[in-house]
Structure 1
Amino acid sequence: MHTPNILRSLLATALLCFTGSVLAAGTPAPFTATYQVLRNGSPIGESTLRLTRDGSDWTYVSHMRGTSGLASLLGASVDETSRFRWHDGKPEALSYDYRMEAAIKSRQRRVQVDWVKDTVQVTDGGKRFDYAAKPGLVERHSMPLALGYALADGARHVALPVAVKDRVEIQRYAITGKSEVNVPAGRFDAVRVDRTDDSKNFSAWYVPKRYPVPVKLAQRAGGHLTLLLKSFRRD
């Protein structure tokens, strides 16, 4: 078992956000949701997610903490905050802050988007990267929300410009099937969405007419992680 791989896996667990009841396409709504986090089928943590209105913009905050196994022993936690504007019926990144803390390791990253100059500035590990922004830009934390709204609008194939460390990466996703999904929050008839331009084995199960992001998410890279919805409330 490689501890750094577990920690890198945990960073990705706070990717989700939720709205409840019937989703009105193109309309964000504040919420609080909790998710169970599993690695190789065993519970290792919980993630709490909150979307709030911030004037004319939106703030999406997630907090993951290790509750079992090595993640708990290390005191592992991940905090992420995204700010975005709603532009042309979809989220568009303004900033993203990431912080991972554990007994043996810590890490920070910041993304800042200037839409006047159409530039992105990333600070990661003491290094700075500057590059041009693209319309519809999101970052990894708000990516599932952007994908969910595209699905709610009827898209079956979605290409998203995502701000990564040193560039804008065009990530491609597609509906690949339908299935019944059972999670702690209930049973859902969901569509499966896979990333098609990469071999990182990202799969997510959406209910597009009700929720903008997955009821379940699974990714193999870094440790076979699975996220399952536990509870949701509209704020």
Structure 2
Amino acid sequence: MKPSCRRSLLLCMLALASAPAFALEPFVATYQAFNEGKLAGAAKMQVLKTDASRWRVDLGIRGTRGFARLAGLNIEQSTVFDTPGERFRPLSQGTVKHAVFTGKKISGVYDWQARSARWQGDVKQSRTVPVPLQDGDMSALLMNLAVIRDAQPGKALSYRVVDSGRARDYQYQVAAQTEIVAVEELSYDAMRVSRTNGGNDETIFWVANGVPTPIRILQRENGHDTIDLRLVEYQGVQ
């Protein structure tokens, strides 16, 4: 893994062209957070190895005062997971949402022996019922890493996400051609990965070979940009 990536387009493209296949390694990445096209805060994603067999992925979004008023956008999420074979298997999940006058905390445990997952905290009663687990199930955060691992030009991706008391299927399509994605001083030859079964709610990732985290994550509703995270820096963690 490259220790950092703040460089010219030419150097970045040369590095990506010679990058090895995806290998899970610790990193920390910093994003600009936009809301409806306006800079509204910052975000941090990190992957840490907690012991010989377990990892943790975290995502935290921090907004300006006005951004914080928008429910659910000042948020901290975390998933502890292991990696049997080449899978990312969730073991526990937590979410903390911050708002001006209130907040919400949700925690979940994935019991792979019982093959069920269960959540507690500030979650609807209907979502406290155990959710049956299937091989390959992931949390929403782990899907971010899986997209990095799996994306290839023209490839269709399919994931089952069990998170916050429910299971959902996600279908993505990787564009056949790469495109240049630039944020401040960073430029990447990136693959666009678009959700195909989200209806009016779209999620688009841009990923680049050799970069352990999405270059950009864009959420759209009814054809309009909402939350937009754009990578500004990343580095490996010892």
Q: TM-score, normalised by structure 1?
A: 0.81
Match of 2:144 in 1: 144
Contact 1:180–1:189 under 8 Å retained in 2: yes
Which is higher, the Rg of structure 1 or of structure 2? 2
How many residue pairs get aligned? The number is: 215
Show CA shifts across 1:164-199 (max 9, x none). Answer: 344322211111343111113511111111111122
SS at match of 2:218: strand
Match of 2:58 in 1: 61
Contact 2:78–2:95 under 8 Å retained in 1: yes
1:74-93 alignment, distance < 5 Å: 77-93=74-90
Letter in 2 for 1:42: K
Letter in 2 for 1:82: T
Q: TM-score, normalised by structure 2?
A: 0.80
SS at match of 1:143: helix
Name stretches of at least 5 consecutive residues in structure 1 with no aligned partner.
1-17
Cα distance, 1:163–1:124 mapped onto 2, change above 3 Å: farther
Match of 1:233 in 2: 235
Percent identical pairs in the alignment equals 20
Show CA shifts across 1:72-121 (max 9, x none). Answer: 57897321111011122121111110001122231122221011111111
Cα distance, 1:50–1:146 mapped onto 2, change above 3 Å: same
SS at match of 2:147: helix
Contact 2:22–2:212 under 8 Å retained in 1: no
Contact 1:19–1:210 under 8 Å retained in 2: no
Partner Cα separation in structure 1 for residue 169 and residue 63 of structure 2? 31
Match of 1:156 in 2: 155
Which one of 49, 52, 55 corresponds to residue 48 of structure 2? 52
CA RMSD, Structure 1 to Structure 2 (Å): 2.6
Name stretches of at least 5 consecutive residues in structure 2 with no aligned partner.
6-14
Partner Cα separation in structure 2 for residue 112 and residue 34 of structure 1? 28
SS at match of 1:224: strand
